[in-house]
């Protein structure tokens, strides 16, 4: 590398910026780091860098805005786009830059390896840069209604005559509530009901679509923020109130509004003012929506994802640009058009299209959603082929805000028949062991130092163990189970010494194997609030259990509940069957929160396979896949069953160990090296490793990853 090569870095995080600079300098590149846009553009003008490393997410001026300005200035430097926002957003940002005429060296997903950065500086990563998609002509949909004037529609907006109804979306696999779609309705005082298929095209023609969209946004966000507060104060609704703070709201966006940057800025401000996280909002766009001005659309949609909003491509499969749109824009959800869903029962072709779309979506890391479900048979079919989300008349019709509360209360009924109905709808009884739940029971046993930890499900006449540590049996009779009593309580049920408790001292489980003396069980709820079973701890010796212990057990039970509602297929890497980046980040943040509550130490390991791209080129993709599978097996064998392990990138792996002693990190890495050397394989692989300990309660997953990445750069290759 020539010493005259210049790299300018813009990143608001000093640790990341300095790490990139240090790697570049060690590779013989002259590097400068700035954290503020004004100084950056001055350096671009005065220093004339050959390469620019640009972080996407910054407080003063985001990366897309910086790239637009660089294009205006006619910058010829090679751009390296870096961020931890995820691969699809990074790819979309790279396409955006390319379509503005900038030169793209490649993308650098955080965490990154020194080898990857050096390859980009040597211009070896250009082939990885996403190709720029050619635009197609959008179809223009127009509608007319001679009876409705511009003034009619303006008056309807001014007088708030256009209101919202809400249609529930459920998780296909569990049947639990995932969110709502907001749908606009207009009841004209003279003309009566006016359908959205009539007034939305008119709003676009009259130039009122932005005002309509903003009205829908404000109404929907206000309703979403108030929904948990409108339930009764009864304890039976406590769990539902908590869950309603996480559900999503889908809002349709017109192509005519897509270029209104101020509108989307106000949307972000509304979210902040009402205390709603942007990731709870899903903007639904039709296939042709983003094609009128593809470069601007790419900019705006990428920035929306960077702010946290989700994007759904609606009516998928009905347009001509489906594959193009899906490849080039940073969508997070793909929505199957109802025309396929409604004809699936009698059409093999429709079923083939649906299955293909679901497989395609999951292959690209997208959630899949289906609308137009009008029968239980259609819902069961979608569940059987792995669809994530569903909405339609078979689930619930669109309903006004006041009716939503009644619908939620009906679903919250706590009688036994309802509880069993919810339990059976989850389809997890009598299923094989599941690593998701086994990890949590192992963690609970480790934290509380008990020989037995169980995730139980209480059926009509038995207690069945979905996850069991320390017991050989898979179920017990319900009439003698402790958990039957635990699910009747709102809080943790603690039995310090069962032999001294009148209700349990003669219980066969106390007098015989497993000879229970101590029991602590926390109810595990469904999304509706129904108590399905417990996360419980058992010891053969009596013991005390403090309020602090109860809080930690509740936290662990919440982790079980989150797994029940998670879209697990979208959280798994299909090659290694490990968690992917999305799945790891959400679970690791939960684990860090638990460490903070329990005053426990945690350590995050970051492992990067060395020269994996060259390995693939030399030995072929099939050999590369086998190496990744073998390395994932090695990690599972090395680390504990309670640890979180994930494939974090193409050739990056990450592990989070909870409850680790200060010497634990080095011991774990020594064990990994020992096992790796003992493995015989046709093509031996090497890796770089770094680790970081939890330093404060404010540490995020990303901060730990960055510190582990920084340590990795100074570690020897193994």
* 53 burial via Cβ count (<10 Å: 0-12, 13-18, 19+): buried
Q: For residue 210, give every residue at least 6 positions away whose Cβ sits within 8 Å of its Cβ, in sequence order, or none.
A: 256, 257, 260, 263
Q: Strand, helix or coil at 641?
A: coil
Q: Is the pLDDT of residue 565 over 80?
A: no
Per-residue pLDDT averaged across 82-103, rounded?
A: 77
Q: For residue 82, give every residue at least 6 positions away whose Cβ sits within 8 Å of its Cβ, in sequence order, or none.
A: 11, 16, 20, 53, 54, 55, 56, 90, 107, 108, 109, 110, 112
User: In terms of domains, do 338 and 372 share one?
Assistant: yes
User: In terms of domains, do 108 and 18 share one?
Assistant: yes
Q: What is the structure's pLDDT at 517? A: 97
Residue 204: count of CB within 10 angstroms of its CB: 20
Residue 389: count of CB within 10 angstroms of its CB: 25
Interatomic CA distance for residues 274 and 223, integer angstroms? 10
User: In terms of domains, do 476 and 336 share one?
Assistant: no
Per-residue pLDDT averaged across 345-371, rounded?
A: 88
* 446 burial via Cβ count (<10 Å: 0-12, 13-18, 19+): middle
User: Is the four-CA dihedral 386, 387, 388, 394 of positive or negative sign?
Assistant: negative
Span 591-615, pLDDT tens digits? 998 988 888 889 999 998 888 888 8
User: In terms of domains, do 461 and 322 share one?
Assistant: no
Greater model confidence, 133 or 455: 455
Q: Which of 387, 412, 437 is the last residue of a domain?
A: 412
User: In terms of domains, do 473 and 581 share one?
Assistant: no
Q: Which domain CATH number covers 647? A: 3.30.70.270
Per-residue pLDDT averaged across 67-82, rounded?
A: 89
Q: What is the structure's pLDDT at 228? A: 87
Query: Confidence band (pLDDT; 50, 70, 90) for 276?
Result: very high
Q: Which of 504, 531, 565 is the last residue of a domain?
A: 565
Per-residue pLDDT averaged across 348-371, rounded?
A: 88
Q: Which tokens hold the place of 276?
A: 């709603």
Ranges 28-32, 96-100, 187-191, 642-646: which has the least confidence: 96-100
Task: Give the HSE-up count for residue 213: Cα atoms under 13 Å, Cβ half-sphere.
Answer: 24
Task: Give the residue numbers spanning the domain of 470.
Answer: 424-565
Q: What Å distances lie between residue 479 and 459, 463, 469, 507, CA to CA? A: 11, 9, 22, 10
Q: Which domain CATH number covers 86? A: 3.40.50.2300
The most confident of 291-295, 361-365, 649-653, by mean pLDDT: 649-653
- DSSP H/E element including 538: strand 531-539
User: In terms of domains, do 162 and 23 share one?
Assistant: no
Say which DSSP state 470 is in: S
Helices (H), 179-293: 196-206, 209-226, 238-244, 261-274
Q: What is the structure's pLDDT at 447? A: 92
Please indicate, yes or no, if residue 508 is contained in any of the structural domains. yes
Q: Strand, helix or coil at 330?
A: coil
Q: Which domain CATH number covers 390? A: 3.20.20.450
Q: Is the pLDDT of residue 143 over 50?
A: no
Per-residue pLDDT averaged across 543-570, rounded?
A: 88
- What is the DSSP code string of 472-531? S-SEEEGGG-SHHHHTTSSS-EEES-GGG-TTTTT-HHHHSTT---EEEEEEEE-TTS-E
Please indicate, yes or no, if residue 139 is contained in any of the structural domains. no
User: In terms of domains, do 197 and 284 share one?
Assistant: yes
- DSSP H/E element including 313: strand 310-316
8 A C-beta contact, residue 668 and residue 601: no
Q: Strand, helix or coil at 455?
A: strand
Q: Cis bond leading into 416, ω under 30°?
A: no
Greater model confidence, 662 or 8: 8
Span 318-348, pLDDT tens digits? 655 556 666 778 888 999 988 889 888 878 8
Ranges 8-22, 101-115, 134-148, 208-222: which has the least confidence: 134-148
User: In terms of domains, do 53 and 165 share one?
Assistant: no
The pTM score is 0.59
- DSSP H/E element including 250: strand 248-252
Q: Is the pLDDT of residue 364 over 70?
A: yes
Q: What is the structure's pLDDT at 414? A: 45
Interatomic CA distance for residues 171 and 159, integer angstroms? 36
Per-residue pLDDT averaged across 201-218, rounded?
A: 92
Per-residue pLDDT averaged across 181-210, rounded?
A: 89
Interatomic CA distance for residues 702 and 716, integer angstroms? 23
Query: Confidence band (pLDDT; 50, 70, 90) for 51?
Result: very high
The most confident of 78-92, 224-238, 404-418, 534-548, by mean pLDDT: 534-548
Q: Is the pLDDT of residue 137 over 80?
A: no
Q: Is the pLDDT of residue 125 over 50?
A: no
8 A C-beta contact, residue 289 and residue 253: yes
Interatomic CA distance for residues 706 and 654, integer angstroms? 12
User: In terms of domains, do 488 and 395 share one?
Assistant: no
Q: What does the radius of gyration of the chain's CA atoms come to, in whole angstroms?
A: 27
Q: Which residue has the tokens 């950065």?
A: 117
Q: Which residue has the tokens 């983003």?
A: 290
Domain tally for the chain? 4
User: In terms of domains, do 552 and 531 share one?
Assistant: yes
Interatomic CA distance for residues 484 and 423, integer angstroms? 14
Q: Which residue has the tokens 């903007």?
A: 283
8 A C-beta contact, residue 127 and residue 104: no
Q: Is the pLDDT of residue 232 over 80?
A: no
Please indicate, yes or no, if residue 417 is contained in any of the structural domains. no
Q: Is the pLDDT of residue 124 over 50?
A: no
* Of the candidates 107, 77, 112, 80, the residue with the CA atom closest to the CA atom of residue 92: 107
Task: Give the HSE-up count for residue 684: Cα atoms under 13 Å, Cβ half-sphere.
Answer: 9
Q: Strand, helix or coil at 468?
A: strand
Q: Which of 535, 565, 595 is the last residue of a domain?
A: 565
Please indicate, yes or no, if residue 616 is contained in any of the structural domains. yes
Please indicate, yes or no, if residue 175 is contained in any of the structural domains. yes
Please indicate, yes or no, if residue 145 is contained in any of the structural domains. no
Rounded to 5°, the CA angle 401-312-183 comes to 25
Residue 374 has φ and ψ, to the nearest 5°, of -115, 5
8 A C-beta contact, residue 454 and residue 467: yes
User: In terms of domains, do 108 and 175 share one?
Assistant: no
Q: Is the pLDDT of residue 314 over 90?
A: no
Span 614-631, pLDDT tens digits? 888 888 889 889 889 988
Please indicate, yes or no, if residue 142 is contained in any of the structural domains. no
8 A C-beta contact, residue 286 and residue 257: no
Q: Which tokens hold the place of 495?
A: 């039995």
Q: Considering the chain, what is the average pLDDT of its residues?
A: 84
User: In terms of domains, do 481 and 542 share one?
Assistant: yes
Please indicate, yes or no, if residue 550 is contained in any of the structural domains. yes
Q: Is the pLDDT of residue 131 over 50?
A: no
Query: Confidence band (pLDDT; 50, 70, 90) for 176?
Result: confident
């Amino acid at each position: 590398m020539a010493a005259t090569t210049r790299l300018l870095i813009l990143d608001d995080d000093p640790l990341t910026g300095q790490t990139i600079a240090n790697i570049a300098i060690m590779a013989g590149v002259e590097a400068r780091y700035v954290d503020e846009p004004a100084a950056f553009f001055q350096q671009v003008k005065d220093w004339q860098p050959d390469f620019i490393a640009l972080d996407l997410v910054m407080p003063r001026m985001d990366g897309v805005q910086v790239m637009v300005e660089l294009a205006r200035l006619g910058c010829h430097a090679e751009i390296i786009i870096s961020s931890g926002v995820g691969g699809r957003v990074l790819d979309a940002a790279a396409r955006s830059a390319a379509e503005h005429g900038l030169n793209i060296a490649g993308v650098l997903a955080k965490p990154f390896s020194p080898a990857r950065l050096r390859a980009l500086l040597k211009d070896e990563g250009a082939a990885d840069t996403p190709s720029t998609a050619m635009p197609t002509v959008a179809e223009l949909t127009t509608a007319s209604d001679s009876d409705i004037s511009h003034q009619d529609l303006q008056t309807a907006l001014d007088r708030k005559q256009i209101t919202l109804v809400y249609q529930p979306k459920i998780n296909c696999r569990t049947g639990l509530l995932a969110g709502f779609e907001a749908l606009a309705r207009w009841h004209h005082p003279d003309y009566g009901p006016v359908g959205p298929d009539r007034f939305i095209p008119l709003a676009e023609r009259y130039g009122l679509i932005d005002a309509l969209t903003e009205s829908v946004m404000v109404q929907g966000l206000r309703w979403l923020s108030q929904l948990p507060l409108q339930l009764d104060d009864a304890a039976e609704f406590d769990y539902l109130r908590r869950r309603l703070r996480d559900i999503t709201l889908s809002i349709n966006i017109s192509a005519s509004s897509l270029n209104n940057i101020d509108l989307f800025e106000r949307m972000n401000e509304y979210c902040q003012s009402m205390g709603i996280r942007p990731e709870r909002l899903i903007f639904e766009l039709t296939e042709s929506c983003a094609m009128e001005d593809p470069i601007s659309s790419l900019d705006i949609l990428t920035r929306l994802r960077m702010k946290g909003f989700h994007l759904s491509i609606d009516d998928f499969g009905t347009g001509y640009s489906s594959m193009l749109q899906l490849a080039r824009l940073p969508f997070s959800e793909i929505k199957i058009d109802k025309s396929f869903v409604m004809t699936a029962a009698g059409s093999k072709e429709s079923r083939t299209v649906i299955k293909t779309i679901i497989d395609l979506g999951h292959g690209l890391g997208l959630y899949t959603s289906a609308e137009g479900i009008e029968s239980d048979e259609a819902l069961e079919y979608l569940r059987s082929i792995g669809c994530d989300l569903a909405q339609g008349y078979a689930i619930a019709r669109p309903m006004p805000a006041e009716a939503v509360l009644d619908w939620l209360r009906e679903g919250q009924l706590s009688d036994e028949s309802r509880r069993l109905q919810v339990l059976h709808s989850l389809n997890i009884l009598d299923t094989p062991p599941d690593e998701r739940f086994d990890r949590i029971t192992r963690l609970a046993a480790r934290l509380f130092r008990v020989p037995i930890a169980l995730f139980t499900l209480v059926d009509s006449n038995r207690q069945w163990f979905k996850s069991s540590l320390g017991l050989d049996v898979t179920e017990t009779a319900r009439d003698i189970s402790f958990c039957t009593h635990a699910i009747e309580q709102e809080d943790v049920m603690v039995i310090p010494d069962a032999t001294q408790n009148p209700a349990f001292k003669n219980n066969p489980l106390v007098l015989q194997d497993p000879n229970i003396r101590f029991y602590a069980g926390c109810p595990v709820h469904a999304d509706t609030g129904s108590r399905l079973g417990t996360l419980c701890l058992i010891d053969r010796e009596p013991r005390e259990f403090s309020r602090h212990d109860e809080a930690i057990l509740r936290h662990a039970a919440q982790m079980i509940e989150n797994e029940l509602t998670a879209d697990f297929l979208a959280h798994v890497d299909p090659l290694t069957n490990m968690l992917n980046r999305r799945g790891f980040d959400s679970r690791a943040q939960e684990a860090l929160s638990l460490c903070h509550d329990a005053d426990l130490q945690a350590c995050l390991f970051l492992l990067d396979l060395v020269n994996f791209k060259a390995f693939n080129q030399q030995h072929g993709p099939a050999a590369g896949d086998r190496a990744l599978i073998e390395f994932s097996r090695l990690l599972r064998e090395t680390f504990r069953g309670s640890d979180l392990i994930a494939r974090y990138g193409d050739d990056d792996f990450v592990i989070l160990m909870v409850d680790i002693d200060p010497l634990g990190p080095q011991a774990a890495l020594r064990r990994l090296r020992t096992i790796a050397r003992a493995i015989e394989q046709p093509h031996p692989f090497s890796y770089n490793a770094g680790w970081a300990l939890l330093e404060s309660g404010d540490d995020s997953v990303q901060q730990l990853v960055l510190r582990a990445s920084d340590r990795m750069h100074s570690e020897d290759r193994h």
